[in-house]
Amino acid sequence: MHVTAIIAAGGRGQRFGASQPKQLLDVDGEAILARSVRAFATHPSVNEVIVALPDDVMANPPAYLRADRVRLVAGGARRQDSVTQGFLAASEQSDVIVIHDAARPFASADLIARTIAAAADSGAAVAALASRDTVKLVSPAADGPAQAGHYVRETLDRETIYLAQTPQAFRRNVLSDALAFTDDATDEAALAERAGYHVRIVQGEATNIKITTPDDLLMAEAIANQSAIRNPQSAIRVRTGRAGTGYDLHRLVEGRPLILAGVTIPSDRGALGHSDADVVCHAVTDAILGALSLGDIGRHFPDTDPRWKDANSIDLLTRAVALVHEQGYEIGNVDVTIILERPKIKDHIAAMCANLARALAVDVSRVSIKGKTNEGVDAVGRGEAIAAQAIALTRAR
């Protein structure tokens, strides 16, 4: 059975009130979206994952979305529009398509498996929790001002009330018929009902919360912490960080380009070295290698080896990142200080950060570059040399 998962992450999370989409916010050091995607990308029953994103995020997606079996599509104005875009991108081999809200980062592997199995058997299935509270049907006051509030119209039988969650899963033909309805709906199960299908209830999970408000984020932090307590090995992997520092210095000479983080800076002099003498990349490479006790740049790319003559230092950094990944770690963030009298580099920092982020496989928000002078002191201060210092934090993947 071929299973496609669609992660609905196209919304802006306006009710949350953050400066960025809520699915990009962190819970216990990891993005909400990263947690949601990983749950499906690593699930043995799921063959492919399609993530529907806002246009601006689609233009510069976070590094954690560059994973095997993960594909990206632009989302739509409504949730069902985003799901439709994901459905259109799904493999024609898909037998079952499972849909999940990006804002639910704690769906367990067992819940995902049970929902998929129920949909394969019944055609449509939704994870849901039985109501634990007495449920009141209300309506506004018949007369008086709006602030008079709502009044109970009827007390419902809570035995018949279930609170829908995701994942929701459907046979391909069922979802196709459901998405043919273009009027608004809060979830795909409702559309399947309109299409005449019976939707089966799968027992949901109390911890499978949807993060909608800042209060929900506090609850999510508590769930993540409790999960770490119950699963110490997982906690070690998420929370263990290792830091490293790097330093590089090169003489400045005429006739050489000045290359910093892969960006050629207009200058009458450039750094002298065996490779392209990119002090930023060299310092960062030493920092990430040092964090994992993997030696330094000279150990892996010695200047006695002709292979590295005039080498692109962004490429060398990418190779070093691969070594870090082989150790089971990834880059958390990097901070670089470039020490140079002239030329000024402030207009090139954004491009340098973007290049480093790509090489490090991280979001650009995790890269910082600053420019300083040496106030006329020593060779750097006299404009005879350029130096860079870097610190990198790595964390278990």
Q: Tell me the one-letter amino acid at 39.
A: A
Query: Is the per-residue pLDDT at 233 higher than 80?
Result: no
Q: Give the pLDDT score at 234.
A: 46
Q: Give the pLDDT score at 267.
A: 95
| Of 362, 394, 392, the residue nearest 240 (C-alpha) | 394
CB–CB of 163/128 below 8 Å?
yes
Q: Which two tokens stand for residue 250?
A: 């090169």
Report pLDDT digits (tens) over 263-316: 999 999 999 998 999 999 999 999 999 999 999 999 999 888 888 888 999 999
> Which residue in this structure is represented by tokens 């402030």?
346
The CATH T-level fold of domain 3-137+149-238 is: Spore Coat Polysaccharide Biosynthesis Protein SpsA; Chain A (3.90.550)
CB–CB of 135/64 below 8 Å?
no
Distance between CA atoms of residues 225 and 358, nearest Å: 31
Report pLDDT digits (tens) over 86-100: 999 999 999 999 999
Using CA atoms, how far residue 371 sits from 41, 280, 375, 387, in Å, is 40, 11, 12, 10
Query: How much is the pTM?
Result: 0.60
CB–CB of 63/361 below 8 Å?
yes
**Which residues have C-beta within 8 Å of that of residue 86, sequence separation ≥ 6?**
6, 7, 8, 50, 51, 52, 73, 99
CB–CB of 230/315 below 8 Å?
no
Task: Tell whether the torsion through CA atoms of 211, 217, 222 and 225 is positive or negative.
Answer: positive
Query: What does the angle CA 251 – CA 256 – CA 260 come to, to the nearest 5 degrees?
Result: 75
Mean pLDDT for 37-44 is: 92
Report pLDDT digits (tens) over 172-187: 999 999 999 988 888 9
- Domain layout of the chain by residue ranges: 3-137+149-238, 241-396
Domain 241-396 top-level CATH class: alpha beta
Phi (first) and psi of residue 53, to 5 degrees: -120, 155
